[in-house]
Chains A and B, each alone.
Chain A
């Protein structure tokens, strides 16, 4: 019995050693055509996924978060990750062996999504966004979450009083728009949602779920609006109503150095 066990262990070790010899492929990407034939990681349900599927002939692998995709990239199982600009910066800051390519795609615009036909809430959201841009609250918000010196100061919750709650759905894997600090979900979108809730006269309840479940949750009525760095796309517009855009971003490509 002992001999069999020893033999089994030896075989496993050999297999692992050979597997370990597999070299991490070094890829050079100068244009979007170079993405063809590569294994590209994206977060499930994001515009990065749609973009890769429509514009490249690549093997698109969907992850639950951008960070998981980045981890897989580091380990060598995929060749590139396509993700929004700011989370990409964060990922590269934290992983010195990854870099962002100097490739520019089309601009996208983030907006708040509500259930189709919920004009009451949508009007209130648009009014709040317009007000924030006018009275300087919006600049304060970008100053707080995208500071030049890199030190984020999270503003106080301003939506603590109010009649009833308004439920906001998000996916806290998208720095600096929504992420977790301690056990709290914080970020640009969260603070902006607090302004929205205040303008709507309610308290804010943040519900953290998978990004690709947000639109279904909105349609099912389990959340009232989505603030998750969600870009406006025609496909999504057919399903939900979007507010006025509040931030412009773009997709970038991350690869190993």
Chain B
């Protein structure tokens, strides 16, 4: 019996210890405010970047499947360059080289760099989605007397969206996680705010685990949200 009481006491001590550490690193001196700031930066930069990325992706996916050689070349060059360079390197090039003479706000540069990066991946996702729609669908649309633009807009794209959505989701999630390199240009994102707390308290694991849990909650929530959307879109499928 004493044995179990001993184990129980150890467990209680362990959790009290964790709570005290958590209190000391996060609540005391209001350091959780730093996390909120980091979280806000991560989320708004990721959302803005995904919006930019989606716009670029839509335009360039259309370029990639267009008949014009020039447009295809532009889109191909873009995706080759952007997908071939790590985001951290791109970010530093944008901040310290391209936008350096303008003294632009670092958050704006972060949004632009992440957006352009994401755009390349979204382009490929959309292109794959569009090309994944059976050619028979286009032929059927054309023989019904629709113009090629109408066929694209009313027949191919609605089906393409459905197939592209799961990969598009994972791109969004990947982007949220990739924003953790923003500290290279001194933007306080979620990862960086964990670093700042670690510096101030010299406690490594409470801030790191907290940050990890927050990232996990965001990505998990998004996965669920997009799964809901996927199910809604699947309703029109014939079982």
Contacts and interface: CB of A to CB of B under 8 A. Distances in A.
Interface of A: 1, 4-5, 16, 19-20, 22, 24, 41, 44-45, 49, 61-64, 68-69, 71-72, 75-77, 212, 215-216, 219-220, 235-236, 238-239
A1 B230 CA distance: 31
Given A1-B66, A62-B196, A63-B186, A20 B101 contact: yes
B102 A219 contact: no
Contacts of A19: 99, 102-104
A216 B204 contact: yes
Nearest to B66: A1
Nearest to B98: A16
Contact of B96 (A45, A71, A236): A71
Contacts of B96: 71, 75
B71 A1 contact: yes
Interface string B62-85: 110010100100100000000000
B184 interface: yes
B177 interface: no
Contact of B186 (A4, A5, A41): A41
Nearest to A20: B102
Contacts of A61: 186
B199 A77 contact: no
B186 A212 contact: no
Contacts of A44: 195-196, 199
Nearest to A239: B202
A77 B195 CA distance: 22
A75 B202 contact: no
B186 A236 contact: no
B30 to A, nearest CB: 13
Nearest to B74: A5
A4 to B, nearest CB: 8
B183 interface: yes
A76 B7 CA distance: 59
A238 B203 CA distance: 11
A216 B198 contact: yes
B86 to A, nearest CB: 16
Given A45-B199, A62-B186, A215-B202, A1 B103 contact: no
Instruction: Please provide the 3 A-B residue pairs with the shortest distance between their CB atoms, ordered closest to farther.
Output: A76-B103, A216-B204, A239-B202
12 contacts: A1-B62, A19-B99, A19-B104, A20-B101, A22-B104, A62-B186, A62-B196, A64-B184, A77-B103, A216-B202, A216-B204, A239-B202
B217 interface: no
Most B CB within 10 A of own CB, among A63, A216, A235: A216
Contacts of B66: 1
Contacts of B229: none
Most A CB within 10 A of own CB, among B96, B103, B192, B195: B103
Interface string B100-128: 11111110000000000000000000000
